[in-house]
Amino acid sequence: MKQLNLQKLQNILRKKFLKVGVKMIGPETIFFSKDTKIGKNVIIEPYVVIGQKVRIGNNVTIKSFSHLENCKIENKVDIGPYARIRPGVVLKSGSKIGNFVEIKKSTLGVNSKVNHLTYIGDSQIGKSVNIGAGTITCNYDGVKKSTTKIKDNVFIGSNSSLVAPITIEEDSVVGAGSVITKNVKKKSLALTRSLQTEIKNYKRKSK
């Protein structure tokens, strides 16, 4: 009986949002909460779950297999596919969360991008920031959680680890493959890499 009531509620919510102009491809695969709020010109692809306390602005696209809960999505934001937006997240206008990205208790600034394979936690990210694939904010040391601050116009190279607490100032660059443990100054390049070793004419061991 309870399952039937839940299905009935979902059908009511789907019809409600279709009526106000939300574009849904496969509405039967999309799940809403009673308190979901959605603006104008929103597109939701199949297999999206929207948990409690989610506010979605105008001209937003949420791609397939994404999960949102307790977050605020401003205007002209793209999410997914395969994105997880956890509690305490604010995605500012024009920002983008791509595939296989998890973000928690963080603000992503205007026109900033986290395109793929990344974890962002307990972070404040400014405007026009680009965060490369495989980047993680190391926000938990086993005892407490610390904050990462990334200011405007920062470029974070792929496969970087940002060890909080840390601040990366405006217009700076973090080189790919870096582990950053100290604050980065404005308009600086921060890079931590071992020298590459190459052995000529190397022969692999045979079995």
CA distance linking residue 179 with residue 184, whole number of Å: 12
Element containing residue 13 per DSSP (H, E): helix 2-19
Q: Are residues 111 and 177 in the same domain?
A: yes
Separation between Cα atoms, residue 159 and residue 81, nearest integer Å: 20
Give the model's pLDDT for residue 5: 81
**What pTM was estimated for this model as a whole?**
0.93
Helices (H) and strands (E) in the chain, counts: 1, 24
Q: What is the pLDDT of residue 4?
A: 60
Residue 180 lies in a domain: yes
Residues comprising the chain, all counted = 207
| Residue 152 CB contacts under 8 Å (≥ 6 apart), including other chains | 109, 126, 127, 128, 129, 170, 171
How many whole angstroms separate alpha carbon 67 and alpha carbon 69? Answer: 7
Same domain, yes or no: 91 and 1: yes
First to last CA, the chain: 63
Same domain, 136 and 65: no
Tell me: do 62 and 29 sit in the same domain.
yes
Domain at 44, CATH number: 2.160.10.10
Task: Residue 124: give the domain boundaries.
Answer: 105-193
Number of structural domains (the chain) is 2
Task: For residue 27, give the nearest of 39, 15, 38, 40 by alpha carbon.
Answer: 15
pLDDT of the residue at 81:
98
Can you give the pLDDT at residue 205? 84
Catalytic site residues?
116
Report d(CA 196, CA 175) in Å as an integer: 15
* pLDDT at residue 179 in the model: 97
Digit-by-digit pLDDT tens for the chain (207 residues) are 566 688 899 999 999 999 999 999 899 999 999 999 999 999 999 999 999 999 999 999 999 999 999 999 999 999 999 999 999 999 999 999 999 999 999 999 999 999 999 999 999 999 999 999 999 999 999 999 999 999 999 999 999 999 999 999 999 999 999 999 999 999 999 999 888 899 999 988 887
What is the DSSP track for 159-205? T-EEESSEEE-TT-EE-TT-EE-S-B-TT-EE---PPP---TT--PP
| pLDDT at residue 200, as a whole number | 92
Pairing of strands 123-125, 89-91: unpaired
Same domain for 118 and 90: no
